Amino acid sequence: MFNSLLLLLPGCDFIGDVFKTGIWVGVIIIIAILAVAAFIFKMFKN
């Protein structure tokens, strides 16, 4: 669901919506994105 939101919304609008819904929701989403990015980086590193 969040992946489709990231593809459909521009970055600034998405960040604005994160602050509207609450800072903790934004923190959780950012941690999830970083975890996925680190996982993909590890896959390609090997």
In the chain, % helix, strand, coil (3-state, to 5) comes to 90, 0, 10
pLDDT tens track for 11-30: 566 666 666 667 777 788 89
Average pLDDT over residues 27-42: 92
pTM over 0.75: no
How far is residue 21's CA from residue 26's CA, in Å, rounded to a whole number? Answer: 8
What pLDDT was estimated at residue 35?
95
What pLDDT was estimated at residue 18?
60
Written as six digits, the tokens of 36 are 């996925």
